[in-house]
């Protein structure tokens, strides 16, 4: 073991020792989720009773969760936006008694870019969840401490700017999230690529840094499509861009690493590139499941660890323990759930098998915030539900009133496609009349006209889609075939999302594309005459 790797093990051990009190407290909370959640709610109400939002909603007089529901309505981002704008313009306490440290931008699939307030209290709530996740991951795979770790980082699309009241909008680095926590000590274990020079070259620079490190022992990314896209030049030399990147990497690497790179390409796996790689962590639920399974074949030497539901707005579930799903983050934020039957439940009252939308109340100043994510209860940890991510509640496409949603589309693909095929549905809004295109990736030959008829027939089972077709508002669905596997579709979706302004590390795989800029980029990239795919 090198001295450098010995130092990394020591940093991990120091972190594990420091995380023990938080871990013990978490275990106690899992056994008493109702009490834990009431404590979180009272902490938030007491801390923010004197801010403008707290005064407007009577925080000082709210005694329990029932009164909280009566006094504070459910908020979408659009409904909270006036309060957030005030927090960016005024100097007094608006959403929280203590002003935000910064506002973090979202760059996901929504057309509306959001600015989420990050306070010290909110960062502490996130740190408590991260402590549990990292400590339990070490328990499962202690070998992650034996070398370098790579936590996905991509350069921000926009540099931070100052709000009118001087608070920063945007963070310069993901590492800002760890400031002031015991987790920050793990930065000394990380492989951090430099993004100097041309920002468009960050992907090459990241890949070179990874390839140069034979002691890589842990990879943590959010979406599996991010890692698939990053590694694509290693295994796909058919496009000029990938061939040029591979040649550039060979030129830059020392002889031993160049040899490992060539063997990886010939074998189609990364085992000899990173023989010490013990674990990879990414999303494995919902729409990510197909892409995760395809990516896992590249890393037969690694254990795959699921991510919980961490969003820019807050954390819903934390990877911990064994079994399906992840337990709810009952010690971080106050959580409520809007079930499909219209019932509103607290965390402890969720039932096995129930699917529900998430409402968050956080120390950052989001109150009964409709996150837009749907989860399903798949188990229990102590007395706390374990959940898995199902998909977005708000991912809908409605060009002319057809009202398609992600759940409908995913179910249709499962019925109409083989298990080997990966697909997404894309609106072509610029056509006259507009239509939907099913982009299907599979190595098997397909009968595109027959598949188009099958998917069209299934879509017509949705009343509003059938009505739009009968009125001539939509043209018939079309199928476009990508000859390849889920890796190829993942690459297309990742590249199109980045081209349309989504930060690389924030791209989420989805069966339905509803962001028209992303849809247009996919259609352009996959034109039959396009040389890229």
- Shared domain check, 426 and 277: no
In a domain, 338, yes or no: no
Overall residue count recorded for the chain in this entry: 533
- Shared domain check, 288 and 163: yes
In a domain, 277, yes or no: yes
Q: What is the pLDDT of residue 92?
A: 93
- Give the pLDDT band (50/70/90) at residue 110: very low
Residue range(s) defining the domain that contains residue 517: 396-525
Give tens-digit pLDDT for 323-344. 899 999 999 999 999 998 889 9
- Shared domain check, 145 and 294: yes
Q: What is the pLDDT of residue 195?
A: 63
Residue with tokens 């800002």: 176
- Shared domain check, 280 and 145: yes
Higher pLDDT, 88 or 471: 88
In a domain, 312, yes or no: no
In this model, does residue 59 exceed pLDDT 70?
Answer: yes
The SS3 call for residue 506 is helix
Q: Of 251, 276, 306, which marks where a domain is finished? A: 306
Residue 152 near residue 193 (C-beta atoms within 8 A): no
Q: What is the pLDDT of residue 532?
A: 47
pTM of the model: 0.79
| Integer Cα distance of 67 and 370 in angstroms | 19
- Give the pLDDT band (50/70/90) at residue 197: low
- Shared domain check, 279 and 132: yes
- Shared domain check, 276 and 156: yes
In a domain, 182, yes or no: yes
- Shared domain check, 262 and 143: yes
In a domain, 350, yes or no: no
Give tens-digit pLDDT for 225-264. 888 888 888 987 677 888 888 999 999 999 999 999 999 9
- Shared domain check, 295 and 196: yes
- Shared domain check, 256 and 144: yes
Q: What is the pLDDT of residue 109?
A: 44
Give tens-digit pLDDT for 32-52. 999 999 999 999 999 999 999
| Integer Cα distance of 520 and 524 in angstroms | 6
- Shared domain check, 299 and 170: yes
Tokens of 361: 């109340």
Q: Of 248, 279, 306, which marks where a domain is finished? A: 306
- Give the pLDDT band (50/70/90) at residue 111: very low
- Shared domain check, 136 and 284: yes
Q: Of 306, 334, 358, which marks where a domain is finished? A: 306
In a domain, 87, yes or no: no
In a domain, 226, yes or no: yes
The torsion angle over the Cα atoms of residues 337, 340, 341 and 342, rounded to 10 degrees, is 50
Helix axes 202-212, 240-252, angle to 10 degrees: 40
| Integer Cα distance of 485 and 420 in angstroms | 7
In a domain, 493, yes or no: yes
In this model, does residue 3 exceed pLDDT 60?
Answer: no
In this model, does residue 531 exceed pLDDT 50?
Answer: no
Domain count, the chain: 2
Tally Cβ neighbours within 10 Å of residue 493.
29
């Amino acid at each position: 073991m090198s001295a450098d790797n010995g130092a990394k093990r020591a940093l991990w051990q120091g972190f594990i020792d420091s995380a023990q009190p938080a871990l013990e407290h978490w275990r106690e909370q899992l056994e008493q989720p109702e009490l834990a959640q009431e404590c979180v709610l009272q902490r938030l109400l007491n801390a923010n009773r004197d801010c403008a939002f707290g005064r407007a909603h009577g925080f000082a007089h709210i005694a329990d969760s029932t009164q909280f529901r009566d006094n504070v309505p459910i908020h979408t981002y659009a409904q909270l936006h006036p309060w957030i704008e005030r927090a960016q313009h005024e100097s007094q306490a608006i959403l929280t008694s203590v002003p935000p440290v910064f506002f973090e931008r979202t760059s996901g699939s929504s057309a509306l870019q959001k600015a989420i307030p990050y306070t010290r209290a909110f960062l502490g709530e996130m740190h408590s969840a991260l402590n549990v996740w990292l400590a339990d991951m070490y328990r499962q795979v202690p070998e992650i401490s034996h070398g370098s770790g790579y936590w996905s980082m991509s350069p921000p699309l926009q540099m931070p700017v100052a709000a009118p009241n001087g608070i920063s909008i945007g963070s310069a680095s993901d590492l800002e999230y760890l400031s002031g926590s015991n987790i920050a000590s793990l930065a000394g274990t990380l492989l951090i690529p430099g993004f100097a020079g041309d920002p468009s070259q960050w992907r090459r620079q990241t890949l070179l840094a990874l390839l140069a490190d034979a002691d890589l022992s842990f990879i943590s990314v959010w979406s599996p499509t991010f890692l698939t896209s990053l590694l694509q030049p290693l295994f796909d030399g058919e496009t000029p861009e990938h061939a040029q990147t591979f040649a550039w990497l060979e030129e830059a690497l020392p002889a031993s690493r160049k040899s490992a790179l060539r063997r990886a390409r010939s074998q189609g796996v990364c085992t000899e590139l990173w023989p010490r790689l013990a674990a990879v962590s990414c999303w494995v639920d919902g729409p990510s499941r197909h892409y995760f399974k395809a990516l896992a074949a590249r890393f037969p030497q690694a254990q795959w660890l699921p991510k919980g539901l961490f969003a820019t707005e807050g954390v819903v579930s934390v990877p911990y323990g064994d079994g399906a799903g992840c337990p709810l983050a009952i010690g971080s934020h106050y959580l409520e759930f809007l079930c499909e039957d219209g019932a509103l439940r607290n965390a402890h009252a969720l039932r096995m098998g129930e699917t529900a939308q998430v409402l968050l109340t956080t120390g950052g100043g989001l109150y009964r915030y409709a996150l837009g994510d749907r989860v399903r209860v798949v188990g229990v940890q102590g007395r706390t539900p374990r959940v898995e991510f199902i998909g977005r509640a708000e991912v809908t496409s409605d060009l002319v009133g057809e009202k398609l949603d992600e759940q409908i589309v995913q179910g249709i693909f499962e019925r109409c496609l083989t298990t080997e095929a990966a697909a997404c549905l894309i609106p072509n809004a610029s056509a006259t009349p507009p239509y939907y295109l099913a982009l299907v990736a599979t190595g098997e030959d397909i009968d595109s006209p027959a598949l188009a008829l099958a998917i069209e027939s299934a879509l017509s089972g949705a009343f509003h889609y059938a009505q739009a077709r009968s009125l001539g508002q939509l043209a018939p669905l079309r199928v476009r075939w990508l000859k390849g596997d889920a890796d190829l579709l993942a690459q297309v979706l990742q590249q199109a999302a980045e081209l349309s302004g989504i930060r690389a590390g924030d791209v989420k795989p989805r069966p339905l594309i509803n962001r028209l800029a992303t849809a247009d980029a996919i259609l352009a990239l996959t034109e039959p005459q396009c040389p890229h795919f």
